[in-house]
């Protein structure tokens, strides 16, 4: 299978959501007056006593963190959802509808060290993070149908604290993006009798032009329908519906592939690469999920350098998403950078 590509402007469809993106590859030839310099990053200490997430620190709520030595989780001191909300729905005709949402929001500290990102952690430490995601998702999924594991890295993506951490929001309602993916995967399953993402992974590994990193268990690609310049999609080769269902081999492999992918992000511009990452899996509490395949989306905003980012404005806000850099070229650039972190190479010089 050779996916269609064109040198002239064209649209590509996202089969997971049904949305489209306008690809305008010819625009990369236009003059660019923006700066592309490397940005010096301030030195971050191993431990910051003023950081609310460091071991032994006191959080804004007054609670004191334990002197943890691995991962550490706690309920967000300022959660977006509350567990005691009533499961109510209300409507005033077709135009005004609302429903109450019950839920909880958990914070996951990836490491006791204040100065490390996932890209700088070793495989064993990343595997511990994966195990924590799995444990938290299983516990929350026993109560709520929706469990959203995500990470915002960097101030550019709204992370208010540089300490390596992510969040898990669990709620009584299925979010819109999960609902859209559920619908389109189900439609594909009923038509083909196979999971959409299983077929997609096979097609991408056969083509290879958008694959960034891959091993025997996982494949990371710049998806054919990518919106963000260096967006990636991480999918298992063997169908898995939810994070808690990963077996030990898939968990170990996931830690390795995350490290390889995230090092490439940082090495692209020799800068801590900002992104929002989120896992999508089948809703909990149902066995009717054969059409689902677990996957992670990475949405980084950087475009040309550590200081030049993609903005969703104008046409993107009022019409549909648009990109200049093709997914194929983005994948090639990510493949071409070293797998050793640039800071490790610099330290040896």
Catalytic residues: 165
Task: Give the C-alpha separation, 28 to 180, whole Å.
Answer: 32
Other beta carbons within 10 angstroms of residue 294's beta carbon come to: 22
Q: Tally DSSP H helices, then E strands, for the chain.
A: 7, 14
Task: Give the C-alpha separation, 218 to 215, whole Å.
Answer: 6
Q: CA dihedral in degrees (343, 252, 128, 75; nearest 10)? A: 110
Task: Give the C-alpha separation, 180 to 251, whole Å.
Answer: 27
* Tokens 């049904």 -> residue: 18
Task: Give the C-alpha separation, 77 to 61, whole Å.
Answer: 6
Which helix (H) or strand (E) segment holds residue 22: the answer is strand 20-23
Which helix (H) or strand (E) segment holds residue 262: the answer is helix 248-268
CB-based contact 227:21 (threshold 8 Å) = yes
Q: CA dihedral in degrees (129, 167, 145, 218; nearest 10)? A: -40
Task: Give the C-alpha separation, 294 to 239, whole Å.
Answer: 7
């Amino acid at each position: 299978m050779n996916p269609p590509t064109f040198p002239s402007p064209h649209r590509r469809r996202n089969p997971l959501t049904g949305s489209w993106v306008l690809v305008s590859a010819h625009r990369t030839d236009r003059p660019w007056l923006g700066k592309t310099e490397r940005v010096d990053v301030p030195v971050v200490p191993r431990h910051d006593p003023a950081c609310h997430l460091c071991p032994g620190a006191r959080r804004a709520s007054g609670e004191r963190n334990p002197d943890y030595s691995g991962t550490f989780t706690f309920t967000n001191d300022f959660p977006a959802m509350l567990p005691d909300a009533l499961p109510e729905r209300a409507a005033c005709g077709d135009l005004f509808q609302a429903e109450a949402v019950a839920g909880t929001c958990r914070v996951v500290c990836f490491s006791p060290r204040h100065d490390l990102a996932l890209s700088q952690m070793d495989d064993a430490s990343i595997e511990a993070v994966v195990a924590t995601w799995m444990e938290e998702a299983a516990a929350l999924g026993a109560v709520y149908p929706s469990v959203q594991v995500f990470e915002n890295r960097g101030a550019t993506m709204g992370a208010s604290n540089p300490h390596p951490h992510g969040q898990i929001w669990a709620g009584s309602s299925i979010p819109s993006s999960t609902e859209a993916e559920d619908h389109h995967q189900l439609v594909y399953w009923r038509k083909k009798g196979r999971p959409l993402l299983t077929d997609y992974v096979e097609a991408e590994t056969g083509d290879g032009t958008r694959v960034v990193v891959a091993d025997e268990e996982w494949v990371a690609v710049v998806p054919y329908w990518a919106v963000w310049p260096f967006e990636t999609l991480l999918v298992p080769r063997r169908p898995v519906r939810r994070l808690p269902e990963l077996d030990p081999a898939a968990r170990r492999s996931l830690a390795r592939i995350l490290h390889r992918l995230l090092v490439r992000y940082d090495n692209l511009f020799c800068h801590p690469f900002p992104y929002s990452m989120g896992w999508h899996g089948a809703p909990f509490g149902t066995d009717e999920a054969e059409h689902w395949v677990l996957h992670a989306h990475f949405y980084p905003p950087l475009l040309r350098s550590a200081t030049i980012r993609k903005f969703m404005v104008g046409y993107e806000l009022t019409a549909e998403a648009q990109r200049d850099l093709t997914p194929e070229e983005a994948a090639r650039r990510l493949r071409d950078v070293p797998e050793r972190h640039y800071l490790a190479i610099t330290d040896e010089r």
